[in-house]
């Protein structure tokens, strides 16, 4: 087993990604930047609020549609991994040009990715909505980088020792969306039904996508 903790901030130093430790400062800075943009005529308050509302309206169902399409369309999956911001527009999810970079990481039989933001709560909100409370909690953020398999087990996810676990640390400039493995026994399912198997947790990587049997049992 090889566990990796990868941080995408410049030079790999925590000092490049400390907005969680100075939330009040960054909140005031954001307000000042917003006021300056409005004063300079770059955009209006309504433009800013509209874009914020669009982001807040995102839900895990938006991400599930992206995953399901990648499961059924190999060419789309290639585009999604190579150029996520362009590919997700094909399913109606549009990100602003100023949005953080997004990487889509595919879980396979050999590699399992899971996401975290060790210093705050950076999350692909514009694709799958708000992060769950546990994702923002210190317990998850601190433990997942040192004991990822232990954390996975707490979510009911058991991996073979041969599977490499990669913990991907989000930053202000980079967000990660996990493409979970397609469950067995779904070969004849429609894209719409496949999307119902995709959970928020599976797109973070702490669980697998649901099995068709569990969906039937829960209905």
DSSP bridge partners of 164: 111
Query: Which residue among the candidates 9, 27, 44, 121 is catalytic per the annotation?
Result: 121
Catalytic (active site) residue 43: no
Other Cβ atoms less than 10 A from the Cβ of 123: the count is 23
Buried-state track 78-103, b at ≥16 Cβ within 10 A, e below 16: ebbeeebbebbeebebebeeebbebb
Query: Which residue among the candidates 9, 122, 171, 202 is catalytic per the annotation?
Result: 122
Query: Which residue among the candidates 120, 170, 171, 202 is catalytic per the annotation?
Result: 120
Task: Return d(Cα 198, Cα 144) in angstroms, integer.
Answer: 22
Q: What is the largest distance, in Å, between two alpha-carbon atoms of the chain?
A: 57
* Backbone torsions φ then ψ of 166, nearest 5 degrees: -120, 120
Task: Return d(Cα 3, Cα 140) in angstroms, integer.
Answer: 16
Specify burial of residue 212 (Cβ count, 10 A radius: 0-12, 13-18, 19+). middle
Catalytic (active site) residue 162: no
Pair of tokens at residue 202: 């599976």
Task: Return d(Cα 93, Cα 67) in angstroms, integer.
Answer: 12
Query: Which residue among the candidates 117, 170, 171, 202 is catalytic per the annotation?
Result: 117
Active site residues: 117, 120-122
């Amino acid at each position: 087993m090889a566990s990796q903790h990868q941080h995408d901030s410049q030079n790999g130093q925590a000092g490049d990604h400390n907005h969680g430790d100075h939330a009040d400062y960054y909140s005031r800075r954001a307000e000042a930047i917003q006021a300056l943009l409005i004063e300079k005529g770059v955009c209006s308050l309504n433009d800013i609020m509209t874009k914020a509302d669009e982001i807040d309206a995102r839900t895990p169902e938006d991400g599930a549609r992206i995953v399901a399409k990648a499961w059924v369309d190999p060419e789309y999956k290639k585009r999604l991994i190579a150029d996520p911001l362009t590919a997700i527009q094909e399913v109606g999810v549009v990100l602003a040009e100023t949005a953080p970079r997004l990487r889509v990481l595919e879980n396979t039989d050999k590699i399992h990715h899971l996401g975290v933001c060790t210093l705050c709560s950076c999350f692909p909100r514009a694709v799958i909505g708000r992060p769950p409370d546990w994702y923002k909690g210190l317990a998850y953020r601190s433990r997942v980088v040192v004991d990822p398999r232990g954390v996975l087990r707490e979510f009911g996810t058991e991996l073979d020792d041969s599977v490499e676990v990669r913990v991907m640390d989000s930053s202000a400039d980079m967000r990660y969306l996990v493409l979970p493995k397609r469950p067995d026994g779904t070969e004849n399912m429609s894209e719409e039904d496949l999307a119902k198997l995709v959970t928020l947790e599976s797109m973070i990587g702490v669980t697998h996508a649901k099995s068709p049997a569990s969906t039937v049992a829960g209905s």
